[in-house]
Amino acid sequence: MKDNNQSVWWREYRRRLYKPNPRNMSIETVLRINFRKTFSEYKEHCSLTGLQRIWKQNQGFKQRIIRTLLFLSMLGIIGYFFQNLWFENLARPLIVTMESSTYPISNIEFPAVTLCNFNRINKSAMEKWSKLAPQCNELLVRCAWAGEIVECSDIFTVQRTVHGHCCAFNLVVGNFSGGIGRSIDMIKRQYQPGQLQGLNVVLDSKIEDYAYSTFNMFGFEVLIYDATHYADPTGGNIIQRIIQPDQFALFEINTVKQVATKEVRKYPPKTRKCFFHDEMKEEFKDFYSYSACIVMCRIKTLKSLCKCVPYYFPIATQDAPVCSIDHLKCLNRYKDKLFYLFPEGAENTQGLEAELQDALYCPQCLPDCELTRHYSRHSKIPLSYFVNQNKEYTSFFFDGLNMSGKCLLSIYQPTTDGVLNRLDVVLYWFEVVSNVGGFCGILIGFSMISVLEFVYFFVFRFFWNLYTLYY
């Protein structure tokens, strides 16, 4: 027993005597020796069972190779899982899901409606040399909203559009210099379903007063769109229909409303690829929409190319004159930029080089994060047939009116419910942690304890071993 103690003492003495002096080594050599020692401690005590078994003593070379290959294959599967998690979820972090198919219509904004007469110039106005365009108080004979007859001038306003001066209902946006003193809260809503509870308008196209028509027909063009957008057919999300004299046109509106969660705002616009209404306040005054952004882009483009702004664009023109006959040559040269948009994110544009060069390029315009989409199902019947078959409606709405040459427009929501969609993140942070932890735990036994072990050994133990190596 004594010999054994002396033997142990002697070996310890020789180890200390011939121990390399770290002060005589390079820093690289010292760090390599210390890392090797720390890693040896880590592999003996870590909770990763696969890694422990690879370095387990008293096992053959083939067995160690097999366990190493199994552990590397598990790491490969985890790598594939992370790649799929990133490209399929985290790289595209937002998703639109249906939250309710029975969302009350009282919480859904009624669409804006713009009525444009095909006639651009009144014959009587030409003779008197007064206002040439047809006036709304002449075209709108009788109006009803939410089951009550109202003055048309109380719910309709004159709006400049690409089709000329039109009559607009429920529109809350104006020019970009501050709007028209309205807010999103002022948008009308239909609280009860049915035709009588919607918008009903008797229209007079003034056939005898036609002097210059844009179409070879009489009647009105009906535009239905989001109340926060502009009546811009090239901006998308707009319904265009036609109604002619002696017709009764019914438009059943089905609406899908999309809202966004607070988590969506935490992502930058380039990641979420959309804007909220209250963003970009300097230009849009809490009324940002994709439609408004496209209109603003057209205005800036025409200011740059032709040094003027067409009269129908909703903007104060102190900084640029209204386009006149002197600008027609320039406007005709760049007319394609008023109608065609460069496709954002387009990849295969082979054969479209000329079209893309002439198109309007607006990379700063992103879709709306929150929006209301309106879909319509419309039908038309002879007005005389409807008048004879619906005495109750006739007594309510047509009393005292001569319906000859008139047309009736009815826009309403037929049911009590709409659809509510929600824009939300694909995975919240705790879901990501749960998925990663569960998957890695099944394959290699990885957990939060493994993270703490790694920090302990390669931070605290590493510096402690480095200290003991010198002292």
DSSP state of 110: P
Residue 115 and residue 222 in contact, taking contact as beta carbons nearer than 8 Å: yes
Is residue 81 located within the same domain as residue 102? no
- Does 10 fall in a domain? no
Is residue 221 located within the same domain as residue 182? yes
Is residue 197 located within the same domain as residue 240? yes
> What CATH number does the domain containing 393 carry?
2.60.470.10
Is residue 183 located within the same domain as residue 241? yes
- Does 57 fall in a domain? yes
pLDDT tens, the chain, 471 aa long: 445 555 566 666 666 655 666 666 778 888 888 888 888 888 878 877 677 777 777 777 787 788 788 888 888 888 888 887 777 776 778 889 999 999 999 999 999 999 998 887 776 665 554 456 678 888 899 999 998 999 999 999 888 888 888 899 998 876 554 444 456 668 899 999 998 899 999 998 888 877 777 778 888 999 999 888 888 777 667 899 999 999 999 999 999 999 999 989 988 888 888 999 888 877 777 778 888 888 888 888 888 888 888 888 876 545 778 888 888 899 888 887 777 787 776 666 676 777 777 788 888 889 899 989 999 998 999 988 888 887 777 777 887 888 888 899 999 999 999 999 999 988 877 777 777 877 777 777 777 888 888 888 888 888 888 888 776
Total domains in the fold of the chain: 2
Is residue 82 located within the same domain as residue 178? no
Is residue 189 located within the same domain as residue 245? yes
DSSP state of 338: G
Is residue 53 located within the same domain as residue 173? no
Q: Look up the domain containing 230 and give its range.
A: 97-267+368-424
Q: Which residue has the tokens 């009803």?
A: 144
188: phi then psi, degrees, rounded to nearest 5:
-75, 150
- Does 344 fall in a domain? no
Output the CA–CA distances (angstroms, integers) from residue 49 to 44, 58, 101, 219, in the order listed: 10, 16, 50, 80
Is the alpha carbon torsion for 137, 142, 147, 148 positive or negative? positive
Cα dihedral 278→235→243→153 (10° resolution): 30
Is residue 149 located within the same domain as residue 69? no
Q: What is the rounded CA–CA span in Å between residue 414 and residue 250? A: 11
- Does 306 fall in a domain? no
Is residue 67 located within the same domain as residue 143? no
Strand ranges of the sheet holding 164-169, from the earlier edge strand across to the other edge: 156-161, 164-169, 112-117, 220-225, 238-243
In this predicted structure, what is the pLDDT of residue 421?
A: 95
In this predicted structure, what is the pLDDT of residue 179?
A: 44
- Does 284 fall in a domain? no
Q: What is the rounded CA–CA span in Å between residue 215 and residue 205? A: 13
Last residue of a domain, one of 384, 401, 424: 424
Last residue of a domain, one of 91, 118, 146: 91
Residue 304 and residue 297 in contact, taking contact as beta carbons nearer than 8 Å: no
In this predicted structure, what is the pLDDT of residue 129?
A: 46
Q: What is the rounded CA–CA span in Å between residue 444 and residue 48? A: 6
- Does 359 fall in a domain? no
Last residue of a domain, one of 91, 125, 154: 91
Quote the tokens at residue 229. Answer: 């957008």
- Does 115 fall in a domain? yes
Q: Is residue 157 within a helix (H) or strand (E), and if so which, with residue range?
A: strand 156-161
In this predicted structure, what is the pLDDT of residue 451?
A: 84
In this predicted structure, what is the pLDDT of residue 130?
A: 46
Q: Is residue 80 within a helix (H) or strand (E), and if so which, with residue range?
A: helix 61-85
Is residue 57 located within the same domain as residue 117? no
Quote the tokens at residue 372. Answer: 């209301």
Which residues of 293-413 form beta strands (DSSP E)? 371-382, 406-412
Quote the tokens at residue 392. Answer: 């109750």
Of the candidates 240, 252, 249, which has an alpha carbon nearest to the alpha carbon of residue 215? Answer: 240
3-state secondary structure of 200: strand
Is residue 83 located within the same domain as residue 107? no
3-state secondary structure of 103: strand
Output the CA–CA distances (angstroms, integers) from residue 309 to 133, 303, 324, 360, in the order listed: 20, 6, 9, 16
* Bridge partners, residue 255, by sequence: 374
Residue 286 and residue 275 in contact, taking contact as beta carbons nearer than 8 Å: no
Quote the tokens at residue 219. Answer: 């009647």
- Does 406 fall in a domain? yes
Is residue 107 located within the same domain as residue 198? yes
